């Protein structure tokens, strides 16, 4: 399936967002619209009453087959701030762990007349698979599937970049670390290139880069100091040790020596560089605490922005944005 | 119908083994070919088959088709899949040893062959397990398997424990002139991969199987094949580089041959895009360059056999997240049309395409079939090279519908199949009448 086809499953006949599975194939205009919608929701979280009634009467199911705190919490908060009812499925104690197939799990939840699935799964393609098999009125949002995609994380990252930098044109962005196992990196690469940044770099040892990584639209570096030269944005990634077998890196110590973000290395970047991290961070393995907690870090604003972005995507997928009527 | 005297007339006979290519009749008596070109003196037919406008060629010899019996009858059975084979023009097929139980004893060999005989369709040749239980550690009783009817041994897609076991297995097999069939894949390099490691796997975030998983396995096996003098066959190659390696060894005089699965001549890594589980294959579909290299090798004979690598599945096997789905395509009935497509595209002649499905694989196993010459088994395929059909619209006999070609319009359809002189398949589009 081509990028166009990938987008097709995400859009309805009118070109509106139906599912949000991947950034790949979506237009620049749609990504900008998501960010603009998120901007309109950002104020909601600062109000005394942090709710809007856009998804009142709708039921959102958080279907997490992998452990998550940050992502699940922000999706839950986003749904609740849109006044939706939220159901959290604990897969560890669900029927799936008793041998029920993924499709049967989805079908059973579907029979309870839910309106949206927020899916996290350890295998690439899970969100696509569910989206292909759900009833027409149900939306599927990908909260991270294997190594494939984490589109809302990418959108909150580019939203954060836009808030800090204003424009994407001319920006140089370095994504540092375990690109191979990172669904966040893949989605960020699509988003950044679609939004027209000047250059996306990936910095990692060859063991942590996917095959033919240049084909994704990035410039690979194996030297962090070189990779950071004159960049406007640094996105650090967590070493996903739980997804690794053996022999990707000799040790965390050596990894930090060569690819850890330190004050000295960050001097290579532009003076107004911002440092991002999708979390959770491993201090002293991929990033020095002084940077993580320092003035150039926007790690916590990323988390805050995540709620607004997820509200935006949820409302758009349910065709209930701030400028739209809630579907009856 | 056993012993029936059959006259196939009006067709174009194509027999690559003898070089015969032209109009004529094929006569069958007592289960063997009685005459080709013109009826022998005094031949009186019990049945006439009108093959006007059609190709008459040897029945296809398929070096790899899983029938799922014993042990996985929810996917298919010897009865259902041998019927599909007959409908695909296949008259002899080899089933890999990864049944349940494994084909590692004469009893299981006997079970498979007897059930195939009961099904009464095509000849089934079980490939015996190279190691007991396919565990890769202990040698199977190869001589006993040979006596039970195995012409070849292999370890299906299971790895051997280490090179010394491989060496010993090859030496022992060579003692009894058994062919050893490899499905070359280094398990460490394959790791958890489920698609070709390349641009598409990187984009989709799917764990990749590098080309080196195949080439390293070939590179490891070739010196041991050369050292032991065993007759070896590499099945279902997927990369152009592996083909080159095998061809180089063959040119040096090493007793080695290779086949490719027919769908690897058509599909590439791009076909899994969108997480299409129907294109989940092992080995995986690789690059367009690999596909074209495989096509070129089939055309020039470096790959002398094309197989179906038939793997029927129940629907649920493909109804899951891509990495969790089971690999394999149901492909017995797409073997011929996909080869016809290569002919139509100009990659090879019709005669060469038929050779890769008949004389080529027959020679690898030393079979008497795969040729239309007097005295050879009357294994015959009659097909209409211009007949267009859609698998989804009927005529699909395999229990497995797991093919990405399900909705495709395919050109080239079998109209009649004779196995051992018996009409085991007739599409209804061919006139076949008893005389008298």
Which domain CATH number covers B10?
A: 2.30.40.10
Same domain, B294 and B382: no
For residues A92 and A173, which has the higher predicted lDDT (pLDDT)? Answer: A173
All domains of chain A in start order, with CATH:
19-148+304-318 (3.40.50.1370), 151-297 (3.40.50.1370)
Write out pLDDT tens, residues A278-303: 988 888 889 999 999 999 999 999 99
B70 and B16 in one domain? no
Please name the residue of chain A whose CA is at the shortest distance from the CA of residue B319: A103
B contacts of A125 (beta carbons < 8 Å): 204, 206, 275, 321-323
**E strand intervals along B16-80:** 20-29, 32-37, 47-50, 55-58, 60-62
B238 within a domain of the structure (yes/no): yes
**Binding-site positions of A:** 70-71, 98, 120, 150, 153, 183, 238, 279-280
Judgement on whether residues B417 and B316 belong to the same structural domain of the protein = no
Chain B residues within 8 A of A124 when measuring between CB atoms: 204-206, 275, 321-323
Q: Is A100 at the interface with chain B, CB within 8 A? A: no
B346 touches B1 (CB < 8 A): no
Q: Which of A1, A24, A126 sits opposite B321 (nearest CB)?
A: A126
Q: Assess if residue B401 is contained within a domain.
A: no
B191, B200, B209, B275, best to mutate vs chain A, most A CBs in 10 Å: B275
Residues B43 and B62 in one domain: no
Residues of chain A positioned with their CB less than 8 A from the CB of B274: 1, 5-6, 9, 128
Pairing of strands B152-154, B32-37: unpaired
pLDDT above 50: residue A326: no
In a domain, B155, yes or no: yes
Given this model, what pLDDT does residue A240 score? 78
Q: Which residues of B are catalytic, by number? A: 309
- Do B20 and B77 fall within a single domain? no
- What is the pairing mode between strands B152-154 and B179-182? parallel
Question: With an 8 Å Cβ cutoff, is A211 touching chain B?
Answer: yes
Question: What is the rounded distance in angstroms from the CA atom of residue B361 to the CA atom of residue B152?
Answer: 12
| Cis ω for the linkage preceding A44 (within 30 of 0) | no
pLDDT class for A138, splitting at 50, 70, 90? very high
Q: Say whether B201 and A211 touch across the interface (CB within 8 A).
A: yes
Please say if the pLDDT value at position A325 is more than 50: no
Q: Does A125 touch chain B (CB under 8 A)?
A: yes
Question: Quick one: closest CA in A to B316, which residue?
Answer: A101
Residue of B198, B316, B321 lying closest to A125 (CB–CB) = B321
Q: A146 and B276: CB-CB below 8 Å?
A: no
Asked if the model's pLDDT at residue A49 lies above 90, the reply is: no
Query: Cβ A125–B202 below 8 Å, yes or no?
Result: no
φ/ψ of A20, rounded to 5, equals: -125, 95
B17 and B134 together in one domain? no
Interchain CB distance below 8 Å, A210 and B275: no
B307, B415: one domain: no
Three-state SS letters, A178-196? CCCCCHHHHHHHHHHHHCC
Question: Based on the domain organization, do B50 and B166 belong to the same domain?
Answer: no
Write the residue in B198, B210, B322 that is nearest to A124 by C-beta.
B322
CA–CA separation, B88 and B45 (whole Å)? 25
Residue B1 lies in a domain: no
* Count of the separate structural domains present in chain B: 2
Cα–Cα distances in angstroms (integers) from residue B356 to residues A280, B89, B123, B369, B382, in the given order: 56, 13, 18, 13, 16
**The pairing of beta strand A199-203 with beta strand A172-176:** parallel
Q: Is residue B402 in some structural domain?
A: no
Nearest to A123 among B198, B199, B324 (CB): B324
Q: Which DSSP symbol is given to B406? A: T
CATH number, domain of B152, equals 3.20.20.140
Would you call A125 and B207 a contact, using CB atoms and an 8 Å cutoff?
no
Q: Which residues from A are below 8 Å from B321, CB to CB?
A: 102, 121, 123-126, 129, 145
Taking a contact as any Cβ pair under 8 Å apart, which residues of chain B between 168 and 197 contact chain A?
191-192, 197
Same structural domain for residues B222 and B274? yes
Which of A63, A124, A182 would best serve as a mutation to test chain B binding (most B beta carbons within 10 A)?
A124
Instruction: Establish if B271 touches chain A: CB-CB under 8 angstroms.
Output: no
Which positions of A make up the binding site for carbamoyl phosphate?
A: 70-71, 120, 150, 153, 279-280
Does residue A245 sit at the B interface (CB-CB below 8 Å)? yes
Q: What is the pLDDT of residue A99?
A: 72
User: Measured between alpha carbons, how far is B125 from B378 in angstroms, rounded to an integer?
Assistant: 17
Is position B370 within any domain? Answer: no
- Find out whether B48 and B96 touch, Cβ atoms under 8 Å: no
pLDDT at A79 (0 to 100): 97
Mean pLDDT of the A41-50 span: 83
Residue that wins the pLDDT comparison between A2 and B326: B326
Q: List chain A residues with CB under 8 Å of B324.
A: 102, 123
Q: For A66-97, how does the pLDDT look when each residue is reduced to its tens digit (9 = 90+)?
A: 888 889 999 999 999 999 999 998 776 555 65
Residue pLDDT tens, chain B, 436 long = 447 899 999 999 999 999 999 999 999 999 999 999 999 999 999 999 999 999 999 999 999 999 999 999 999 999 999 999 999 999 999 999 999 999 999 999 999 999 999 999 999 999 999 999 999 999 999 999 999 999 999 999 999 999 999 999 999 999 999 999 999 999 999 999 999 999 999 999 999 999 999 999 999 999 999 999 999 999 999 999 999 999 999 999 999 999 999 999 999 999 999 999 999 999 999 999 999 999 999 999 999 999 999 999 999 999 999 999 999 999 999 999 999 999 999 999 999 999 999 999 999 999 999 999 999 999 999 999 999 999 999 999 999 999 999 999 999 999 999 999 999 999 876 766 777 5
The reply to whether residue A147 touches residue B322, judged by beta carbons under 8 angstroms, is no
Measured in whole angstroms, the distance separating CA B53 from the mean position of its chain's CA atoms is 26
Q: Identify the band that residue A26 occupies on the pLDDT scale cut at 50, 70 and 90.
A: very high
Give the pLDDT band of residue A243 (cuts 50, 70, 90): low
Which residue of A104, A123, A185 to mutate against B (max B Cβ within 10 Å)? Answer: A123
Q: What are phi and psi of A291, to 5 degrees?
A: -85, -45
Considering the domain architecture, whether residues B214 and B334 belong to the same structural domain is answered as yes
Q: What pLDDT was estimated at residue A245?
A: 64
Residues in chain A within 8 Å Cβ distance of B210: 211
Rounded to an integer, what distance in angstroms lies between the CA atom of residue A320 and that of residue B397?
Answer: 49
Domain span at residue B295 reads: 58-365
- Cβ neighbours for A187, distance < 8 A, ≥ 6 positions apart: A22, A23, A149, A150, A151, A153, A154
Is B216 inside a domain boundary?
Answer: yes
For position A45, what pLDDT does the model report? 75
State residue A319's pLDDT score: 87
Q: Are residues B51 and B137 in the same domain?
A: no
Task: Please check whether residue B403 lies inside any domain of the structure.
Answer: no
Note whether B325 and B206 are same-domain residues.
Answer: yes
The answer to whether the Cβ–Cβ distance between A210 and B273 falls below 8 Å is no
Cβ-defined contact of B203 to A215 (cutoff 8 Å): yes
Residue A112 is encoded by which pair of tokens? 């309870």
CB A286 within 8 A of CB A261: yes
Give A92-116 pLDDT, tens digit per residue. 655 565 677 889 989 999 999 999 9
């Amino acid at each position: 399936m081509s990028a166009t086809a990938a987008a097709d499953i995400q859009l309805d006949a009118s070109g509106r967002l139906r599912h949000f599975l991947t950034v790949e194939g979506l237009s620049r205009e749609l990504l900008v619209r998501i960010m603009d919608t998120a901007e309109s929701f950002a104020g909601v979280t600062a109000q005394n009453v942090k709710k809007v009634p856009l998804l009142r009467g709708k039921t959102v199911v958080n279907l997490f087959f992998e452990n998550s705190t940050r992502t699940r919490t922000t999706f839950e908060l986003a749904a609740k701030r849109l006044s939706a009812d939220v159901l959290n499925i604990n897969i560890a104690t669900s029927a799936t762990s008793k041998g029920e197939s993924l499709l049967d799990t989805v079908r059973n939840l579907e029979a309870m007349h839910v309106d949206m699935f927020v899916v996290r799964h350890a295998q690439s393609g899970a969100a696509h698979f569910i989206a292909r098999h759900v009833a027409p009125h149900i939306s599927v949002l990908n909260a991270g599937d294997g190594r494939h995609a984490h589109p809302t994380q990418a959108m909150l990252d580019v939203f954060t970049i836009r808030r800090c930098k204003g424009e994407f044109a001319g920006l140089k962005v370095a994504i540092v670390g375990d690109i191979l196992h990172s669904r966040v990196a893949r989605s960020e690469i699509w988003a950044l290139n679609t939004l027209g940044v000047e250059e996306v770099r990936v910095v990692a040892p060859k063991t942590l880069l996917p095959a033919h990584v240049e084909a994704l639209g990035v410039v690979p570096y194996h030297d962090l100091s070189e990779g950071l030269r004159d960049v406007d944005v640094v996105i650090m990634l967590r070493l996903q040790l739980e997804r690794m077998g053996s022999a990707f890196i000799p040790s965390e110590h050596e990894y930090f020596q060569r690819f850890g973000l330190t004050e000295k290395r960050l001097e290579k970047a532009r003076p107004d560089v911002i440092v991002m991290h999708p979390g959770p961070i491993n201090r002293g393995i991929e990033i020095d605490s002084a940077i993580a907690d320092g003035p150039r870090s926007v790690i916590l604003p990323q988390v805050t922005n995540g709620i607004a972005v997820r509200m935006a995507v949820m409302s758009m997928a349910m065709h209930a944005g701030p400028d739209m009527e809630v579907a009856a | 119908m056993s012993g029936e005297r059959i006259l196939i007339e009006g067709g174009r006979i194509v027999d690559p083994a003898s070089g015969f290519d032209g109009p004529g009749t094929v006569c069958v008596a007592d289960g063997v070919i009685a005459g080709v070109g013109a009826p022998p003196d005094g031949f009186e037919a019990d049945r006439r088959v009108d093959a006007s406008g059609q190709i008459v060629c040897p029945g296809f010899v398929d070096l790899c088709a899983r029938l799922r019996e014993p042990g996985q009858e929810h996917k298919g059975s010897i009865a259902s899949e041998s019927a599909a084979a007959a409908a695909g023009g296949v008259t002899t097929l080899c089933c890999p040893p990864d049944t349940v139980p494994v084909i590692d004893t004469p009893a299981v060999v006997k079970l498979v062959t007897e059930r195939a005989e009961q099904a009464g369709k095509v000849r089934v040749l079980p490939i015996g397990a190279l190691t007991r239980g396919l565990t890769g550690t202990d040698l199977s009783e190869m001589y006993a398997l040979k006596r039970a009817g195995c012409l070849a041994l292999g370890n299906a897609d299971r790895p051997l424990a280490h090179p010394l076991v491989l060496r010993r297995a090859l030496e022992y097999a060579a003692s009894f002139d058994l062919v050893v069939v490899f499905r070359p894949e280094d398990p460490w390099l394959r790791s958890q991969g489920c698609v070709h490691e390349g641009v598409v796997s990187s984009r989709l975030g799917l764990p990749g199987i590098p080309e080196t998983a195949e080439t390293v396995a070939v590179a490891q096996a070739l010196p041991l094949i050369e050292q032991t003098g065993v007759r070896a066959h590499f099945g279902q190659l997927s990369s152009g580089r592996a083909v080159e390696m095998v061809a180089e060894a063959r040119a040096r005089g090493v007793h080695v041959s290779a086949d490719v699965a027919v769908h690897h001549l058509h599909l590439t890594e791009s076909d899994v895009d969108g997480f299409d589980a129907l294109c989940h294959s092992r080995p995986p579909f690789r690059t367009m360059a690999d596909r074209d290299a495989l096509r070129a090798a089939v055309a020039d004979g470096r790959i002398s056999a094309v197989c179906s690598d038939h793997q029927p599945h129940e629907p649920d096997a493909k109804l899951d997240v891509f990495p969790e789905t089971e690999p394999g395509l149901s492909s017995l009935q797409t073997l011929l049309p996909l080869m016809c497509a290569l002919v139509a595209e100009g990659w090879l002649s019709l005669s060469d395409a038929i050779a890769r499905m008949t004389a080529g694989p027959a020679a690898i196993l030393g079979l008497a079939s795969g040729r239309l010459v007097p005295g050879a088994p009357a294994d015959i395929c009659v097909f209409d090279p211009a007949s267009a059909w859609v698998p989804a619209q009927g005529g699909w006999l395999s229990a497995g519908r797991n093919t990405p070609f399900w909705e495709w319009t395919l050109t080239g359809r079998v109209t009649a199949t004779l196995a051992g002189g018996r009409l085991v398949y007739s599409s209804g589009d061919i006139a076949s009448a008893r005389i008298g």
